[in-house]
Amino acid sequence: MSRSAAARADAAKIVADVALRGRSLDTALVIDSRATKQERGLIRALSYDSIRWYLRLDAMLDRLLARPGQKIDPDVRALAIVGLCQLLYTEIPEHAAVTETVEAARHLGHPRAAGFVNAVLRRCQREHAQLGEQIDRDVAVRTAHPRWLVDALNADWGEQAEAILAANNQRPPFWIRVNRRRTTGQQYRERLAASGIAVADSMHDDEALLLADALDVADLPGFAAGDVSIQDAAAQLGARLLAPRPGDRVLDACAAPGGKTGHLLELQPELAELVAVDVSPERLTRIADNLRRLGLSATLVAGDAGEPTGWWDGRPFERILLDVPCSATGVIRRHPDIKLLRRPEDVAALATKQLQLLRAAWALLAPGGRLVYASCSALQAETVRVVEAFEATGAKVREAAAAVRIAAGTAGMDGFYYACLEKTEGQ
């Protein structure tokens, strides 16, 4: 059996685990260490693209079945989805997509399904334009988003919703953050050019660089030495908006995996202390690893930011960055499984937790201090309305909250929301 067919079978297992068994893509995406670099790339690309377009591909599959509504083994159904994905969303030659995917049915242990997979893919080759016209009358199917999320984005973004839906289906851009304590943006640009790596765009005086193509971090000059990190340009705004000053005591709440922790320390080397808190001890190790690579240090605390009595020493913070757990609907292009796994009831539960976190963090902020509420949700229920509900509780916020609301795809950035809240003196 060809290694190419085996790679497609592996991708089908991953897709089935996510779409039909409810596992996260990060958890399901386990690739055999014996796979070649090319095979790993194929498995990863087919898994991500199949999940990204799953809701449309599944609607297409239903139209291609010889018997509508027929029951199909989950792995076989996922393999058919992977085959359709190759025909409709990749540049893989059609003959290879069909032949290798049919062969993959045997690798999955379903040799009798090979004929079914072949029939579905051959019919797709003949009829995909006509069938696509039929299913694409439904915007949710056409954009491969759940209906509830399409409705929510339309309600929250109006005419911008269609552009957000389109951006969610793009492969994510590759932004990097230059460590200003080690080099300048211009100097790092020159190192990239010398390595044959092209820059497509930049922000923040070349501190944020958008590479023309994604690549392995090991191929980035100075990555292992901490000269550069991977971080979307929208996520890089958090530390900048917090604007820590020399001598400030800073809290990075819900800090894992530590991208913003490192950025804060890079921006302001003269902090009195940076305390990074996360509820997961395991995730704290990722912060430690990132800081070690950058040559930086912080006080790492395992604790619930919403229940600070268990870890806070009573000393207030002049700056607090609160990056709340959320639906992550602003970063769907990086995590397409969100479209399949997230439910509308999750959003209400998250909003309740976000308000609790905001109120708890506010109590730790020194008078005159600044708190930045951050969320990678695209939904007002987790952003604008949480801040409004917080202000309605009587919190003494200096003037109105200065907010930054970024739609996914804007200037190549992820979807993000920031609200800068400053506590009045005398509180």
- DSSP state letter for 412: G
Q: How far is CA 181 from CA 20, 65, 296, in A?
A: 46, 59, 10
Neighbouring residues of 98: CB distance < 8 A, sequence distance ≥ 6? 83, 87, 118, 121, 122, 125
Question: Do 374 and 323 meet the contact criterion of CB atoms below 8 Å apart?
Answer: yes
For the four alpha carbons of 289, 291, 294 and 297, in that order, the dihedral sign comes to negative
Kindly list the catalytic residues.
376
Structure tokens at 184: 């300048």
Query: How far, in Å, are 7, 17, 32, 291 from residue 10 at the CA level?
Result: 5, 11, 9, 34
61/80 Cα distance (integer angstroms) = 8
CA 424 to chain centre: 35
Helix ranges, 158-258 (H): 161-168, 185-194, 237-242
What number of other Cβ atoms are within 10 A of residue 185's Cβ?
Answer: 19
Q: Residue 357: which of 426, 255, 240 has the closest Cα?
A: 255
The CA-atom distances, in angstroms, between 79 and each of 8, 26, 27, 149 are: 8, 19, 19, 26
Closest CA to 279 of 339, 360, 341, 198: 360
Q: Is the CB of residue 46 less than 8 Å from the CB of residue 89?
A: no
- What tokens were used for 419? 């609200």
**Helix, coil or strand: residue 315:** coil
Can you spell out the DSSP letters for 331-396?
Answer: -TTT-TTHHHH--HHHHHHHHHHHHHHHHHHHTTEEEEEEEEEEE----GGGTHHHHHHHHHTT--
Whether residue 186 contacts residue 204, with contact meaning beta carbons closer than 8 Å, is answered with: no
Distance of alpha carbon 359 from alpha carbon 8, whole angstroms:
48
- What pairing do the DSSP bridges indicate for beta strands 317-323 and 365-375? parallel
